[in-house]
Amino acid sequence: MNKGEEIQKEGTGSENLAFRYLYGFAILFVLLSHCDGGGVEMLSNWMHFGAFHLGIFVFGSGYFFREEKLLNPRLYLWNKVKRLLIPLWCWNLFYGLFLTLLHGFGFTFGEPLTLRGILLFPINSENLYVLNMGSWFIFPFFCVQILYGAGKLLLNLLGRPKVTDRILQALFVAAGFAGVYFAGHGYHEYALYPVFRILYFMPFYAFGMLYRDFLEKVLSKVPAALYFGTCLLISLMLNARFGKPVYVIPSSCDYPFGMWATYLAGAVGILFWLRVSTVLADFGKKCIPLLVLGRSTWDIMFHQFAGIMAVKAVFAVTGRIFGIFRDFDPAAFSGDIWYLYRPGGIKEFALLYVLGAIGISLGVKALLEKGRKQWEKAVKGRAFWWVQRRLEKKAGC
């Protein structure tokens, strides 16, 4: 059985450890990117995290896609809406209300709460309500999956599913290259940011399928030293060509290195860290911290900036109470979400923001899980009581 068949299935408990670790790395790289590197490099001077960290999630979704999921198209669509869009809009409303509260205390970053913002920010804004801006990625991620599913259903009408798979994957790759090309020429400025974000991620979805079907078995036989060395050599050549690591900023449709370098750097980064994850998965002992991150990716995506703000708030409060952290800038704290205070300017203190983002996100996740269990318990209890009373009435009790 190849790894493509060992997918995690909802409700079954089976889990692909290599990809779970890969997701853990991906969300860690997202955090490091938002925390000015987090005081660590992890080869980011060779392979910039921004070239591939979000692409990993799309790549993984393509890898685990199976045509059987489309046997009931309505159920497939509903599952995606339930898992992605409903939380996206609910948290957008929550953080809009929370930001309004912060504005009352003198904070100035972010847009005021409006009906337009509640409805449209998850689609067309890269900042949303600031504290949840990490979730801008959810909507294009959703759209890529739905577009492939819809395209697959339409092309299957022509017959020969395997042929239609390759046609659709080729179209996805071509669409991504075209999107990066035209974005580089400024076409995304015409209120088309959502479209160009979707286009950018489409090749990663196709790449996941192509890797599963053609590359996985071949690359798994390549010795680790040769595999890693080749990835690093390609990265070095790209860095030499451009004078810096290749990166992208898909939220603002910024692809400064062109089509080929953009996707080559993305593919190399994914393949490198997937092999690292595979090596870790082959160890007898599980890497619990990485598993926790890999199982909490959406929670961290939604709440990371709230955690970063919480760390800054701790600096602000302790500095005011004890008269320390005198170089802390209250104006920047209340007006600039990207302000990261580091005592004495020591960059390694940025790691505290990474830990704070993880801690707050996991805390929110735990509270929601506990609330869900309490709710289910209460609902089941009432249902049991109602059924019991009906039976008693029938029995004449």
Domain boundary among 296, 326, 356: 296
- State the Cα–Cα distance between residues 132 and 251, nearest whole angstrom: 13
193 or 315, which is more confident? 315
Confidence check: pLDDT of 397 > 60 = no
Confidence check: pLDDT of 290 > 70 = yes
Please compute the mean of the pLDDT values over residues 213-225 and round it to a whole number: 96
Confidence check: pLDDT of 382 > 70 = no
279 and 349 assigned to the same domain: no
Give the model's pLDDT for residue 8. Answer: 47
214 and 335 assigned to the same domain: no
Q: What is the mean pLDDT of the chain?
A: 91
Confidence check: pLDDT of 257 > 60 = yes
Taking a C-beta distance cutoff of 8 angstroms, is the pair 27, 365 a contact? no
Confidence check: pLDDT of 90 > 70 = yes
What's CA 187's distance to the chain center, in Å? 25
- State the Cα–Cα distance between residues 299 and 358, nearest whole angstrom: 9
153 and 211 assigned to the same domain: yes
Question: Would you say the C-alpha torsion 159, 165, 171, 175 has a positive or negative sign?
Answer: positive
| Alpha helices for the chain (secondary structure H) | 17-34, 53-64, 73-80, 86-104, 115-124, 138-155, 161-184, 193-210, 216-220, 224-242, 258-281, 288-294, 297-322, 330-335, 351-395
Confidence check: pLDDT of 2 > 80 = no
Give the model's pLDDT for residue 3. Answer: 40
377 is in which domain, residue-wise? 298-395
The pLDDT-based confidence of 252 (bands split at 50, 70, 90) is very high
- The separation between the first and the last C-alpha atoms of the chain, rounded to the nearest angstrom, is 58
Distances (CA, A) of 103 to 29, 81, 98, 112, 332: 30, 31, 9, 8, 14
Confidence check: pLDDT of 10 > 60 = no
Q: What angle do CA 50, 56, 60 make, to 5 degrees?
A: 170
pLDDT in tens, 295-354: 999 999 999 999 999 999 999 999 999 999 999 999 999 999 999 999 999 999 999 999
Question: Would you say the C-alpha torsion 300, 301, 303, 305 has a positive or negative sign?
Answer: positive
Domain boundary among 296, 318, 338: 296
pLDDT in tens, 271-287: 999 999 999 999 878 99
* pTM (2 d.p.): 0.92
What is the biggest distance separating any 2 CA atoms in the chain, rounded to whole angstroms? 86
Give the model's pLDDT for residue 133. Answer: 95
Domain boundary among 264, 279, 296: 296
278 and 354 assigned to the same domain: no
321 and 286 assigned to the same domain: no
- State the Cα–Cα distance between residues 169 and 243, nearest whole angstrom: 32
- State the Cα–Cα distance between residues 377 and 380, nearest whole angstrom: 5
192 or 140, which is more confident? 140
286 and 302 assigned to the same domain: no
- State the Cα–Cα distance between residues 78 and 76, nearest whole angstrom: 6
- State the Cα–Cα distance between residues 186 and 252, nearest whole angstrom: 11
Please compute the mean of the pLDDT values over residues 103-121 and round it to a whole number: 95
Classify residue 378 as exposed, middle or buried by CB count within 10 Å of its CB (0-12, 13-18, 19+): exposed
The SS3 of residue 254 is strand
Confidence check: pLDDT of 77 > 70 = yes
170 and 98 assigned to the same domain: yes
pLDDT in tens, 35-72: 999 999 899 999 999 999 999 999 999 999 999 999 99
Number of domains in the chain: 2
Give the model's pLDDT for residue 157. Answer: 84
For residue 260 the two structure tokens come to 């080929």
123 and 177 assigned to the same domain: yes
The phi, psi pair for 249, rounded to 5°, reads -125, 85
Confidence check: pLDDT of 248 > 60 = yes
DSSP string, 48-106: -GGGTHHHHHHHHHHHH--GGGGSSHHHHHHHHIIIIIHHHHHHHHHHHHHHHHHHHTT
Give the model's pLDDT for residue 11. Answer: 36
38 and 114 assigned to the same domain: yes
86 and 198 assigned to the same domain: yes
- State the Cα–Cα distance between residues 103 and 40, nearest whole angstrom: 33
By percentage, how much of the chain surpasses pLDDT 90?
82
